[in-house]
Amino acid sequence: MSNDHQDDNPPSLKPILDQNACDFSASGNLHIDGLVQERLQTLGPTSVLFYRKPLEFDHGQGVWLFDTDGNRYLDAYNNVAVLGHAHPAVSDAVAAQLQKINSHSRYLNKAGHTYAQQLLATLSAGEDCGFLPDPRLVMTCTGSEANDLALRLAFLATGAQGVIVSEAAYHGNTWLVNQISPSSCRQLPDWVATFSLDALQQEDIPVHQAMAAIREEITRAINTLKSRGYGVAALIADSIFSSDGVFAHPTGFLTAAVDEVREAGGVFIADEVQPGFARTGEAFWGYLRHSQAQQPLQPDIISFGKPMGNGYPVAGLIAPDNLLQAMADKEGYFNTFAGSHAAVAAAQAVLTTIGMEGLQENARHTGAAFKQELITLADSCPLIRSVRGAGLFIGVDLVNAHGEPDAELTSQIINALREQGILIGAAGKHGSTLKIRPPLCFSQDNVALFISRFRHVLTTIHS
């Protein structure tokens, strides 16, 4: 079944793990160089490091990470620590749970039911979510496992095997989901077809134009699958298109893609690993941002992970009861660590704290102010081509003096920011988009610090 359809995976695509990677030549710091060598000799080459000069952190607090020399870094990158680093609500809940009982999910645990009820209640912001009849929560340990299971359910629901993904998507690391992750899998199999988001480069594109462009792309992908002898099982999309370089607007454009896929017999899997859990500010789930009164966006399966446990490994999916029943009739699903007492305690602490600390609201208003500051900066800096995003998930496209995307320049800026005490990463098919996704407790003062250091770095590089 595997095939080398490289037309679906353009040679210019910058693999996600190559972006902002470590330079293994000496960093000038004997302690760090020794650790890097030790790591290569113990953990081996698949264990990728960030930043040309890698960092060793000692502890974190809120939006800050502190290295072993006591230097402080503003974290504008790590979306897992959604509440902030080392948040006591999570560490206390997990510690208390570990001291009492932590076992697998084949024993009854009422706390898991309470959590599921509360999470399911977020699905449609209080409205009836008839599209997902009798939704149920299945817990996993990672987003990859959640997407792996989501694909198995999609294959079962449709009897088809073709999958459509965005052209620089990342959906995880199992054998199955690596194959639907063009940003990591160098040769896509022939049952995977991709679509481009290039038409959405500028956020002010009218929604009808965006929908028409996406519809055309999806139709092309469907026809590609059909020409290779496959039906359409699923469109899987992360609605903020994180690895593609952050495409958040115009809201509603995704509905056209889902309509096309449904007409071809496929289901829609909303991969909420990146935009879920209040990050985009406008809604708890990313897909809900695209859901309009006239044209609701209705996933068939929703997967999530990363922020769900603020660093404790907990992830999962929501699917309709009848689909899970169809799977259970065929084969069971058991995952040793998923839904353990400690995992539920971590997840519950995160969900409760997002509400108690008003983090969705903070993501909305601090994110809007942050984006505006970046747009203002772009007016005076030719290295910034565009700024896109929603809430505290912002992408900044960088270009070189010739107006071209430039992964090397982007990496230079990221590493210069690291020297200035700001942590940030890259995304996008050219590896030339800065991906900004700080903890949701990011403040206006944090924004001001980021902007002043960013301005300094851009001015130094541009002069």
Ligand X SMILES: Cc1ncc(COP(=O)(O)O)c(C=O)c1O
Give the contact letters, 306-345, x = binds to ligand X (CB under 6 A), - = no.
x--------x------------------------------
49 or 447: CB nearest ligand X? 49
251 binds ligand X (CB under 6 A): no
Binding piece for ligand X, criterion CB under 6 A, among 138-146, 332-340, 341-349, 429-437? 138-146
The rounded distance, in Å, linking the Cα atoms of 361 and 384 is: 28
Is the CB of 171 or the CB of 385 nearer to ligand X? 171
Among 171, 249, 364, 385, binds ligand X (CB under 6 A): 171
Cis peptide before 438 (omega within 30 of 0): no
With respect to ligand X, which residue has the nearer C-beta, 142 or 353?
A: 142
170 counts as binding ligand X under rule CB under 6 A? yes
Instruction: Work out which of 271, 373, 397, 406 binds ligand X, going by CB under 6 A.
Output: 271
Q: Near ligand X by CB under 6 A, which window of 25-33, 137-145, 247-255, 261-269?
A: 137-145
DSSP 310: B
14 scored as a contact of ligand X (CB under 6 A): no
Of 168, 140, 436, 433, nearest in space to 301 by CA: 140
- Closer of 144 and 362 to ligand X (Cβ): 144
Decide: is 242 part of the binding site for ligand X (CB under 6 A): yes
Contact with ligand X (CB under 6 A): which of 179, 196, 239, 274? 274
Alpha helices in 182-248 (DSSP H): 207-227
- Amino acid at site 72: R
Which one among 143, 245, 307, 339 touches ligand X, defined by CB under 6 A? 143
* Neighbouring residues of 252: CB distance < 8 A, sequence distance ≥ 6: 207, 211, 290, 292, 295, 297
Termini Cα distance of the chain: 52
Is residue 300 within 8 A of residue 267, CB to CB? The reply is: yes
147 binds ligand X (CB under 6 A): yes
What letter does residue 228 receive in the DSSP assignment? T
Closest to ligand X by CB, 315 or 413? 315
Is residue 149 classed as helix, strand or coil in its secondary structure? helix
Of 423 and 457, which has the nearer Cβ to ligand X? 423
305 makes contact with ligand X (CB under 6 A): yes
Burial class of residue 39 (count of CB atoms within 10 Å of its CB; 0-12, 13-18, 19+): middle
The region of 21-29, 56-64, 170-178, 402-410 touching ligand X under the rule CB under 6 A is: 170-178
Strands (DSSP E) along 266-410, which ranges?
267-271, 301-304, 315-320, 384-390, 393-398
Furthest CA-CA distance within the chain: 66
Q: Looking at residue 337, what DSSP letter applies? A: T
Per CB under 6 A, the segment of 140-148, 320-328, 377-385, 388-396 that binds ligand X is: 140-148
**Do strands 162-166 and 433-436 pair parallel, antiparallel, or not at all (unpaired)?**
unpaired
170 vs 287 by CB, closer to ligand X = 170
Among 190, 238, 260, 373, binds ligand X (CB under 6 A): 238
What are the DSSP calls for 387-449, one per residue?
A: EEEETTEEEEEEB-TTS-B-HHHHHHHHHHHHHTTEE-EEESTTS-EEEE---TT--HHHHHH
One-letter amino acid for residue 317 of the chain:
L
Closer residue to ligand X, CB minimum distance, 143 or 405 = 143
For the bound state, the minimum distance from the C-beta of residue 274 to ligand X, rounded and expressed in Å, comes to 5
- x/- letters, 384..413, toward ligand X (CB under 6 A): ------------------------------
- Contact call for residue 273 and ligand X (CB under 6 A): yes
CB of 305 to ligand X, least distance (A): 4
Name the percent of the chain in helix, strand, coil, to the closest 5: 40, 15, 45
Q: Which residue minimizes CB distance to ligand X?
A: 143
Taking the complex as a whole, the smallest distance from the CB of residue 141 to ligand X amounts, in Å, to 8
Q: Which chain residues interact with ligand X by CB under 6 A? A: 142-144, 147, 170-173, 238, 242, 271, 273-274, 305-306, 315
